[in-house]
Amino acid sequence: MVLAERRAELTSPRRIDDDPDLLTRARERLRPSLRRVLNGTGVVIHTNLGRAPLAQAAIAAVAAAAFGYSNLELNLDAGVRGSRDEHVRALLVELTGAEDALVVNNGAGATLLAIAALAREQGIAVSRGQIIEIGGGFRMPDVLTLAGVPLIEVGTTNRTRLADYERAISERGVTTILRVHQSNFRMFGFVEEVPIERLCSLGVPVIDDLGSGALGKGLQVLADEPLVHRSVAAGAALVCFSGDKLLGGPQAGILVGGSDAIEACRRHPLVRALRIGRLPLAGLEATLALYRDPQRAIREVPVLAMLSYDPLTLADRAERLAAACGGKVVQTVARVGGGALPLLELHGPAVAIGDPDRDPTVLANALRTGDPVLVPRISDGRVLVDPRTLADDEIEVAAAAICRALQAAT
Ligand SMILES: *Cc1c(COP(=O)(O)O)cnc(C)c1O
């Protein structure tokens, strides 16, 4: 292939590329496009880097499901056709206290399905402060248009009261309320929102789009995120959240709620188009199983572990990395990312590398195009590698990648 290409180049009157290093070219062509990346950014849920790394138990479950056939849609006891979300239904019910549960391929799909299945032509009431864009162009008004449901705006950007929703129900005949968590931003000052408990007291079904999906109780850093079980206990008809944000599992969209509402989703034609694959389903089941013991989840689910590392662990990793690549340990602030906890600052050490007087993008480019790839963070004109988002056994590999990039960049 590469040889044929080179022959064509040499005989062509127009020379396209005069680099005769055909071996490098052939290697690049054979290299997979989707590759492992060392995340040195300190952003724990980095959407561009694949969001949540999986727990060991989830990796094993995915590998087992990939290996051969599985009972994906076969009920082994009865010997009849089963349903794929049966594998996580009981776990989700147990962990959230909901009556029933359903999984689809991502959080956006869960929100779309919930709206399409529950809302009626009279429209859905949404606070003006919650008509948001999540990222990747996923905007609430567009989602409602797609679901064929009129958007009934209530309240104002900064203040929405219970009476605003009551008026939408009594005067405009609204039959459903949608609450959307302000995942990736916060509002301060003269603001007012209606708590989920009061929304659920209005007598119409409430869809609660939580986005991040914090399942673990008792994790201090998650205190600012709405917990799934609170919305379930409040009586939300459907609670939607992501599998690969704060839950720390594979890409998936989870719906939990009342049996009628979940049944309406299950019967909706969209559910077939949003079906989850067997590999993420296997990873999700194993991840959820870890939550049965909250302390175990904090230790073994990487996202939770990274958010709650003790300072000594991070200091030790930073020292090891700095010693191996000649960098300097500095104190910095890491972020959660993935549109969750936008204000939370994770203080900790990072390793500053390279010459502080040189353009940091040269070294960052060398790291990003190296093998293995390491994505650093550039802060105040310096290239930083944050050990929070590197696994313990990635420190040596990262140090070697840094040494090579330092050589290449000089
Ligand atoms: C992230 C998010 C979604 C979409 O979830 P994905 O898993 O990214 O598809 C939907 N709603 C809210 C409020 C979110 O924060």
Give dist(CA 43, CA 316) in Å, integer: 19
Give dist(CA 16, CA 39) in Å, integer: 35
The reply to whether 292 and 346 lie within a common domain is: no
The pLDDT of residue 335 is 83
Structure tokens that stand for 1 in this block = 């292939």
The region, left, alpha or beta by phi > 0 then psi within -120 to 50, assigned to residue 192 is beta
- Please indicate, yes or no, if residue 14 is contained in any of the structural domains: no
**Residue having the nearest C-alpha atom to atom 11 of ligand 1:** 211
**Residue having the nearest C-alpha atom to atom 8 of ligand 1:** 107
The reply to whether 351 and 229 lie within a common domain is: no
- Please indicate, yes or no, if residue 6 is contained in any of the structural domains: no
Assign residue 291 the CATH number of its domain: 3.40.640.10
Backbone angles phi, psi at 219, to 5 degrees: -105, 110
Structure tokens that stand for 7 in this block = 């022959």
Give dist(CA 406, CA 153) in Å, integer: 54
The reply to whether 216 and 237 lie within a common domain is: yes
Cα 190 off chain centre by? 31
Atom of ligand 1 nearest to the CA of 181: 13
The reply to whether 292 and 312 lie within a common domain is: no
The pLDDT of residue 409 is 80
Cα 138 to ligand 1 centre (Å): 8
Q: Which residues contact 373 (CB under 8 A, 6 or more apart)?
A: 35, 36, 37, 38, 367, 401
**Ligand 1 surroundings by CB, under 6 angstroms:** 106-108, 111, 134, 180-181, 183, 209, 211-212, 242, 253, 339
The reply to whether 283 and 346 lie within a common domain is: no
Domain count, the chain: 2
The reply to whether 380 and 353 lie within a common domain is: yes
On whether the CB atoms of residues 207 and 179 are closer than 8 A, the answer is yes
Cα 212 to ligand 1 centre (Å): 7
The reply to whether 281 and 362 lie within a common domain is: no
- Please indicate, yes or no, if residue 232 is contained in any of the structural domains: yes
Please identify, among 234, 263, 297, the residue that sits at the C-terminal boundary of a domain. Answer: 297
The reply to whether 83 and 215 lie within a common domain is: yes
The pLDDT of residue 1 is 76
Give dist(CA 105, CA 82) in Å, integer: 18
Instruction: Note the pTM of the prediction, 2 decimals.
Output: 0.93
The pLDDT of residue 15 is 61
- Please indicate, yes or no, if residue 13 is contained in any of the structural domains: no
Q: What is the dihedral of CA 355, 360, 365, 366, to 10 degrees?
A: 0
- Please indicate, yes or no, if residue 25 is contained in any of the structural domains: no
Structure tokens that stand for 80 in this block = 């009849």
Cα 21 to ligand 1 centre (Å): 45
Atom of ligand 1 nearest to the CA of 132: 13
- pLDDT tens-digit map of 219-247: 777 888 899 999 999 999 999 999 999 99
- Please indicate, yes or no, if residue 1 is contained in any of the structural domains: no
Cα 312 off chain centre by? 27
- Please indicate, yes or no, if residue 346 is contained in any of the structural domains: yes
Please identify, among 252, 274, 297, the residue that sits at the C-terminal boundary of a domain. Answer: 297
3-state secondary structure of 207: strand
**Residue having the nearest C-alpha atom to atom 14 of ligand 1:** 211
Cα 134 to ligand 1 centre (Å): 6
The reply to whether 288 and 316 lie within a common domain is: no
Please identify, among 297, 324, 344, the residue that sits at the C-terminal boundary of a domain. Answer: 297
Residue showing tokens 């931003």:
185
The reply to whether 266 and 315 lie within a common domain is: no
Write a three-state SS string for 99-130: CEEEEECCHHHHHHHHHHHHCCCCCEEEEHHH
Q: Residue 391's domain spans which residues?
A: 32-53+303-409
Nearest to 327 by CA among 284, 388, 370, 386: 386
pLDDT in tens, the chain (410 residues): 778 887 877 887 776 656 668 888 888 888 889 999 999 999 999 999 999 999 999 999 999 999 989 999 999 999 999 889 899 999 999 999 999 999 999 999 999 999 999 999 999 999 999 999 988 789 999 999 999 999 999 999 999 999 999 999 999 999 999 999 998 889 999 999 999 999 999 999 999 999 988 887 767 778 888 999 999 999 999 999 999 999 999 999 999 999 999 999 999 999 999 999 999 999 999 999 999 999 999 999 999 999 999 999 999 999 999 999 999 999 998 888 887 888 888 999 999 999 999 999 999 999 999 999 999 999 989 999 999 999 999 999 999 999 999 998 87
The reply to whether 185 and 244 lie within a common domain is: yes
The reply to whether 134 and 259 lie within a common domain is: yes
Cα 330 to ligand 1 centre (Å): 34
- Please indicate, yes or no, if residue 117 is contained in any of the structural domains: yes
Cα 358 to ligand 1 centre (Å): 39
Indicate the DSSP class of residue 227: B
Assign residue 367 the CATH number of its domain: 3.90.1150.180
Structure tokens that stand for 381 in this block = 């004109």
Give dist(CA 376, CA 363) in Å, integer: 9
- pLDDT tens-digit map of 271-311: 999 999 999 999 999 999 999 999 999 999 999 999 999 99
Give dist(CA 385, CA 369) in Å, integer: 16
**Residue having the nearest C-alpha atom to atom 2 of ligand 1:** 211
Nearest to 255 by CA among 68, 87, 110: 110
